[in-house]
Amino acid sequence: MNASMPVAAELAATDPDYVDSLERGLSVLRALSAREEALSVADVATLVGITRTAARRFALTLEYLGYASQSAEGYRLTPGVLEIGDAYLRSNPLPDAAHPHLEELVREVGETASLTVLHKQRVYYAARVAADRIVTANITVGTSVAAHSTATGRVLLGDLTPDELEDYLSSVEPGPGFDPDYVRKRIEEARGRGWTMADQELTPGIRSVAVPLRDPEGRIVAALNIAAHATRVDAEVLENDFVPLLQSASRRTAAALWPTSGAAPARSVMAPATAARPKARPSDVIQSVERGLSILTAFDEGHPAMNLAQISAQCRLPRSAARRFVLTLASLGYLEQQGRSYAPTPLVLELGYSLVSRLSLADVAKPRLEGLARKLGASVSIGVLDGMNLRYVARASAPSPLIVNIRPGTRVPAERTAMGQVLLSLLPSAALEDAKRSAGRDRAADGLADLEVTLAAVREQGWSYVDQLLEAGIRAVAVPLRNRRGEVVAAMSASVHEATTPDRDMTENFLPALRDAATEFTMDLRDGLNA
């Protein structure tokens, strides 16, 4: 239970502006977020402490909003719920600023690197680049852990005043894994030398080292860390080799956020990934939950913080109503006041972002692929590179008398597919040569004698069209799929039998539709999804 909840309960009893039904709706959402299995209405009622009738209405509201779905087993979250956590990640410039430097750290040391922030008693992972390791900590963006148990938490707690630190230590529930004197000593140590280490304290077998990220006033706003398995990296390597690299990454991240001259780099403003909703609005939908969540999801790159008037206009709410919902969300810890404005806190990530670790790219892509397949009357696929092969990770087909026998997991020569050509064309030259040598394919097979020329043309135009190259009778056109940082994470294609679709339709009709769909996919392609 969040530390703000007792205060919220007092407000519910004394403040006429407090929206009690919004708090209960968020409690239902948290209950669904905490469980991998589906929950029945009775389960929800028991976990949240409400009646079954109320539980059913709250669950129905989340289903209408596209955040939950119902089956015979009960209610569970859908990928649409991730748009709530996206509001924090999009409105805060820290994750995007740190990400390229975390990637560079991972390339240099071959271990996982993260950016964390502090909220109340917990550390939240706001950006993370995982190393390609068989064994790694089960942590994704949105994961939160007790601050005192981690290296990043001790760095972040070092920015508290002595009184604030004592308040924090006294608020931690006593237990066998918590020694306030030991934690106090490690925090003071982190303050003094500018970094700290946690050796298999949070997770057995994992060592971590962290450094602070400071704003121009010297305040610690985040922490960067590298985590490694204890059998691979000893404490001396963490201190002597990893700390200087982390400190350099911290300085470069700070320089990107707060340049000494000129303005910080502009961030592209993307339309949010909006959860699908049924056409008809059920009469039992609880409006206060709908309005409260609409406020949380209104924050983004273009609206990192908003005052009451801006929130009212953005969410199309009367100002008096906006004020009630904002004050309720602030009392619950989901919004923090910054002068006259409000901004989301990391606590927002607890509202469904845990789902990222349970999802694959195919899970997130499924509804969009099915809609595009129906629209085009074609087979629509998503694929990723696996050396010089293309591996299909998701696929949807419109009804057709002809079936293309390709399923998720199928591997085919990348250079013979539209998706493969798109992805190969975007590889650095050295990486492409390494992939060809590893695959034993110095030159492409029949029909692609000069692969370099083909890939140069694909790279120039940004898409690929192949006609009966992989299989006789099959035409396909493909485009890259990029995340909101512009990184290519996969490719998407539409394919048909040549007898059903004229050649010109592939570029005149299918290509624009694929490009539009790729733009819609941008916010879906979150860090932590598995191909």
Q: How far is CA 243 from the centre of its chain?
A: 27
Confidence band, pLDDT 50/70/90 cuts, at residue 3 = very low
Contact 459, 488 (CB under 8 A): no
Work out the average pLDDT over 112-124: 93
Residue of higher predicted confidence among 472 and 391: 391
| Residues forming beta bridges with residue 225, ordered by sequence position | 114, 210
Residue 393 identity (one-letter amino acid):
V
CB 522 within 8 A of CB 483: yes
Sign, Cα dihedral of 516, 512, 494, 453: negative
The whole-number pLDDT of residue 444 equals 46
Please report, as a single letter, which amino acid is at residue 154: R
**Tens-digit pLDDT profile for residues 390-433:** 999 999 988 765 556 678 888 898 988 999 999 999 988 877 77
Residue 302: phi and psi, rounded to 5, are -80, -15
The amino acid occupying position 61 is T
| Of the candidates 359, 361, 308, 352, the residue with the CA atom closest to the CA atom of residue 330 | 308
Average pLDDT over residues 55-62: 96
Residue 502, CA atoms < 13 Å, CB-side half-sphere: 4
CA 155/CA 143 separation, integer angstroms: 18
Residues forming beta bridges with residue 480, ordered by sequence position: 491
Residue 30 scores a pLDDT above 80: yes
Burial 37-64 (b: 16+ CB within 10 A, else e): ebbebebbbebbebeeebbbbbbbbbbb
Residue with more model confidence, 482 or 202:
482
- Residue 249: half-sphere exposure toward Cβ, Cα within 13 Å: 31
Q: How far apart are CA 25 and CA 289, in angstroms?
A: 6
Residue pair 529/364 in contact by the 8 Å Cβ criterion: yes
Q: Please say if the pLDDT value at position 339 is more than 50.
A: yes
What is the pLDDT at residue 2?
A: 45
- Give mean pLDDT, residues 69-73: 92
CA distances from 432 to 206, 382, 391, 421, 524 (A): 34, 20, 16, 11, 27
pLDDT > 60? residue 212: yes
57: left (phi over 0), alpha (psi -120 to 50) or beta: alpha
The CA distance from 337 to 317, in Å, is 19
Neighbours of 311 (CB within 10 A): 23
Mean pLDDT of the chain: 87
Give the span between the Cα atoms of 207 and 106, in whole angstroms: 15
- The per-residue DSSP string of 274-327 comes to PPP--SS--TT--HHHHHHHHHHTT-BTTBSSEEHHHHHHHHT--HHHHHHHHH
Q: For the ranges 1-10, 168-177, 334-343, which has the lowest average pLDDT?
A: 1-10
pLDDT tens digits for 348-368?
Answer: 999 988 888 788 888 888 888
Q: Which amino acid is at 149?
A: S
523 or 97, which is more confident?
Answer: 97
Check pLDDT > 90 for residue 53: yes
Tokens of 111: 């271990």
107 has a pLDDT exceeding 70 = yes
Return the exposure string of 357-384: e unless at least 16 CB atoms fall within 10 Å of the residue's CB, then b.
bebebbebbbbbbeebbeebebbbbbbb
Mean pLDDT score, 158-185: 88
CA 340, CA 294: separation in Å to the nearest integer? Answer: 20
Q: Residue 443 pLDDT > 70, yes or no?
A: no
CA 140, 146, 149, 150 torsion-angle sign? positive
- C-beta separation of 523 from 137 below 8 A: no
Of the pLDDT bands very low, low, confident and very high (cuts 50, 70, 90), residue 446 is: very low
Q: Which of 359, 422, 423, 427 is nearest to 394 (CA)?
A: 359
Q: What percentage of the chain's residues is helix, strand, coil (to nearest 5)?
A: 45, 20, 35
Helix (H), strand (E) at residue 389: strand 389-397
pLDDT, tens only, 272-318:
555 556 557 788 899 999 999 999 999 998 999 999 999 999 999 99
pLDDT in tens, 504-514: 888 899 999 99
CB of 148 closer than 8 Å to CB of 198:
no
Q: Tell how strand 144-146 and strand 306-307 pair up.
A: unpaired
pLDDT score of 484: 83
Task: Find where tokens 């990184």 sit.
Answer: 487
Is the per-residue pLDDT at 152 higher than 60?
yes
Angstrom distance (rounded) from CA 92 to CA 132: 27
Is the confidence at residue 1, as pLDDT, over 50?
Answer: no
Please give the pLDDT value at position 422: 95
**Cβ contacts of 17 within 8 Å, gap of 6 or more:** 323, 324, 327, 328
- Write down the pLDDT at residue 240: 93
Q: Which long-range contacts (CB under 8 A, 24 or more apart) does 246-251 make?
A: 246/105, 246/195, 246/209, 246/210, 246/211, 247/194, 247/195, 247/211, 249/98, 249/101, 249/102, 249/104, 249/105, 249/113, 249/224, 250/211, 250/212, 250/213, 250/214, 250/224
**Nearest-CA neighbor of 205 among 138, 137, 154?**
137
pLDDT classification of 176: cutoffs 50, 70, 90: confident
Domains in the chain, please, with CATH? 5-87+284-356 (1.10.10.10), 94-257 (3.30.450.40), 359-524 (3.30.450.40)
* Weakest-pLDDT range from 131-135, 159-163, 333-337: 131-135
Q: How much of the chain, in percent, has pLDDT values that exceed 90?
A: 56
pLDDT given for residue 447 in this prediction? 45
233-256 residue pLDDT tens:
888 999 999 999 999 999 999 999
- Residues 40-61 have a mean pLDDT of 96
Higher-confidence residue of 496 and 264: namely 496
- 192-196, 438-442, 476-480 — which is least confidently predicted? 438-442
